[in-house]
Structure 1
Amino acid sequence: MTEISWEDAFCGEGNNCFRIGTDAEGKGYIAVAGQEDHPLTDSREALRTLIREIKAGKADHLL
C-alpha cells in the first residue's frame, strides 16, 4: 500500500472538507476528509495546476 502524507483538511462553507496529499513517487492525491482510502490521484504537477485554476476562479461555476 502506498504511504500518503496528508495535509490538514481544508473546509469550505457548509463543511465540505477535503485533504490533499503526496507520496514518495511524486503522485498527488485529493480526498474528501474521512474518506482518504478512496482518493483521486494524479501527478503533483496536475494537482498544482488544479489548485492554481481553482484559486484563479475557474471552478466558481461549479459552486
Structure 2
Amino acid sequence: MSEIKWQEPMCAGGGNACLQIGHAPDGTPILRETARPTELIRTTSQGLRNLIEAAKRGELDHLL
C-alpha cells in the first residue's frame, strides 16, 4: 500500500491517537490509525464527505 498518498497525521492532544487520510492511485479515500497502519478503511468520496459534514454539525459528538 505504499502507493497511497497520505496526509500528515491528525493527532489529538499530542498523543499517539492519530488518524490519517489518504488516496489510493484510483482516487479512493482511505483512512487509518497510525498505531495500526495495516488496518485500512476504504470509502467513497461521498462517504468521506458525509462523515466530515456530520462531524462538523456535531452529530458524532455522542461517540466521544
Identify whether the pair has TM-score above 0.5, normalized to the shorter chain.
Answer: yes
After TM superposition, what 4+ stretches of structure 1 lie above 6 angstroms from structure 2?
Answer: none
Where structure 1 has 5 or more consecutive residues not aligned to the other structure, the ranges are: none
8 Å contact kept, 1:2–1:23: no
**Percent of pairs with identical residues:** 32
Provide the rounded CA distance (Å) in 2 between the counterparts of 1:3 and 1:44: 18
Provide the rounded CA distance (Å) in 2 between the counterparts of 1:12 and 1:49: 21
When the two structures are superposed, what TM-score results if normalisation uses the length of structure 2? 0.78
Cα RMSD, aligned residues only: 1.9
Counterpart residue identity of residue 30, structure 1: L
How many aligned residue pairs are there?
63
Structure with higher helix content:
1
Deviation at 1:26, TM superposition (A): 2.3
